[in-house]
Amino acid sequence: MTSNASEQIEYAIEATGLTKRFGDNIAVNKLDLNIPKGSIYGFLGPNGCGKSTSIRLLTGLLEASEGDVTILGKPLLGHEESLKKRIGYMTQKFSLYDNLTVKENLDFVGAIYGFAGKRKKSRIEELLALYDLEKQAKQFAGSMSGGQKQRLALACATLHSPELLFLDEPTSAVDPENRREFWERLFDLCAAGTTILVSTHYMDEAERCHALAIMEDGNKRADGSPQALMDAMPATVVEVSGNKLRQLKQTLTQHPEILSAAQIGAHLRVLIKKKVLDPLGFISELSDGRETILARPSLEDVFVTCTGGRHGD
């Protein structure tokens, strides 16, 4: 990306040095973000790595210990209230009312965002149809399935057509089929111009994002588009097949040039540092003539490479 082009990019979220401490525990450490408008951006990382805390900082829910945030071109500090009309937030935990029906929940959220009368009615009908909740309209939210709850939460978070949407692990309680459907809706929203920030610990979901940040212990370990991350990965992937792979794994992981070895089905997937010039030969030598082939890197490989203390060099 040339500096010329980047000047024209409008950012929905800009953050520099964003830090949040809870006592001695640093939940988010010097996070820098530049998320272009109209894109889907992912936070990928295990539980406790600071995804929710980062989102809470960016929505103004939590006060940052340090750092600056600009949301939709306005500094967050001092503009929290006016920005609230322009952002939507779907919390990790279901945050609507279990003992209200789907329709009542939507009615409530609609009124909160200043919708009334015909305008509210037609918007709610539109959302019920879009998120396939028409049959559940009179059902209590608490009695719905994970997928239905999640669609209701998304409907509520997007009721006021926000320009920027935060989704905190939206699909963690949802089956794969519903997850695919859900992502279709996200791409629809994105096509309509909404910027989406979504956190996840699923690799396949992260792969659908335009760009993502890999997070660990409050630090951003790497960021970029999935393809760029895979291309820039400082490791080569070799797949070894044969017998006694568990034993081979033991010997391989002790080698300093080898970042990781993980058994996947009948293969051993080995990540070797880029500085090893002939990775195939290197592995063949170590694995007593078992079959070795070069493999395409996956996002998981990127994740493994840059976390767990392996990101250093």
Partner 1 sequence: MGISMWIRVYAIFVKELKQLSRDKMTFGMIIMIPLVQLMLFGYAINTDARHIPVGLVDLSQTSESRAVEHALVATQSVDFIARYRSIKDAEVAITKGEIRAVLYLPADMTRRLFNHPLYDHKQIDSPLTLPIGQWIVDGSDTVIASTIRALRNMPLDEVANHTTIRTAPSFEVVQYFNPEQRTVVNIVPGLVAVILTMTMILFTSSAIVREHEHGNMEFLITTPVRPMELMIGKIAPYVLVGLSQVAIILSVGHWVFSVPIKGSLLSLLGGSILFIFASLTLGLVLSTIAKTQLQAMQMTIFILLPSILLSGFMFPYDAMPVAAQWIAEALPVTHFMRMIRAIALRDASLLLLGKDALWLGLFTIGGIIIASLRFKKKLG
Ligand X SMILES: Nc1ncnc2c1ncn2[C@@H]1O[C@H](COP(=O)(O)OP(=O)(O)O)[C@@H](O)[C@H]1O
Contact residues: partner 1, CB under 8 A: 22, 56, 59-63, 80-81, 84-85, 87-89, 91, 93-100, 104, 107-109, 111-114, 116, 156
Contact 60, 7 (CB under 8 A): no
Quote the least distance from Cβ 169 to Mg ion, whole Å: 6
Which of 50, 57, 59 has the alpha carbon at shortest distance from 29?
50
Which residue number, 93 or 244, has a Cβ lying nearer to partner 1? 93
Residue 132 partner contact from ligand X, partner 1, Mg ion, none using kind-dependent CB cut-offs of 5 to 8 Å: none
Which residue number, 52 or 148, has a Cβ lying nearer to Mg ion? 52
Dihedral of CA atoms 299, 304, 308, 312 in degrees, nearest 10, equals -90
- Shorter beta-carbon distance to Mg ion: residue 51 or 273: 51
Residue choice 35, 44, 49, 90 for contact with ligand X (CB under 6 A): 49
Chain residues 5-44 in contact with ligand X, contact rule CB under 6 A? 22, 25, 27
The per-residue DSSP string of the chain comes to: --HHHHHHPPEEEEEEEEEEEETTEEEEEEEEEEEETT-EEEEE--TTSSHHHHHHHHTTSS--SEEEEEETTEESTTTHHHHHTTEEEE-SS--S-TTSBHHHHHHHHHHHTT--HHHHHHHHHHHHHHTT-TTTTTSBGGGS-HHHHHHHHHHHHHTT--SEEEEESTTTTS-HHHHHHHHHHHHHHHHTT-EEEEEES-HHHHHHSSEEEEEETTEEEEEE-HHHHHHT-SEEEEEEESS-HHHHHHHHHTSTTEEEEEEETTEEEEEEETT-S-HHHHHHHHTTT-EEEEE---HHHHHHHHSTT----
Among 51, 123, 179, 273, binds ligand X (CB under 6 A): 51
Given partner 1, ligand X, Mg ion, none, residue 288, with its beta carbon under 5 to 8 Å by kind, binds: none
Count of positions on this chain that bind ligand X (CB under 6 A): 11
Judged by beta carbon, residue 27 or residue 153, the one nearer ligand X is 27
CB nearer to partner 1: pick between 61 and 286: 61
Does position 187 bind ligand X by CB under 6 A? no
Q: Could you say which of Mg ion, partner 1, ligand X, none residue 49 binds, taking C-beta under 5 to 8 angstroms by partner kind?
A: ligand X
What are the φ and ψ backbone dihedral angles of 180, each rounded to 5 degrees?
-65, -45
* Residue 50 binds ligand X (CB under 6 A): yes
Choose between 23 and 289: whose C-beta lies nearer to partner 1.
Answer: 23
20, 33, 42, 52: which one contacts Mg ion (CB under 5 A)? 52
Shortest Å distance, C-beta 192 to partner 1: 21
Provide the minimum distance between the beta carbon of 80 and partner 1 in the complex, in angstroms, as a whole number.
8
At its nearest, how many Å lie between ligand X and the CB of residue 232?
Answer: 24
Min dist. Cβ of residue 62 to partner 1 (A): 6
Residues forming the site for Mg ion (CB under 5 A): 52, 92
Residues forming the site for ligand X (CB under 6 A): 22, 25, 27, 45, 47-53
